[in-house]
Amino acid sequence: MSKANDLTQEILKHIFSVGGFAWRANTVGVFDPVRRIYRTAPKKGVSDVLGCFHGLFIAVEVKIAKDTLSPEQEGFIESINHAGGHAFVVHTFDEFVETWRAIFNV
Find the CATH number of the domain harbouring 34.
3.40.1350.10
Residue-level pLDDT at 98:
97
Residue-level pLDDT at 50:
97
Domain ranges, residue 28: 3-104
Query: CB atoms < 10 A from the CB of 90, how many?
Result: 22
CB 27 within 8 A of CB 18: no
Residue-level pLDDT at 43:
78
Per-residue pLDDT of the chain (106 residues; tens, 9 = 90+): 589 999 999 999 999 999 999 999 877 777 888 888 887 767 789 999 999 999 999 999 999 988 999 999 999 999 999 999 999 999 999 999 999 999 998 8
CB 106 within 8 A of CB 17: no
Residue-level pLDDT at 1:
59
Q: What is the pTM of this model?
A: 0.86
Domains in the chain, number = 1
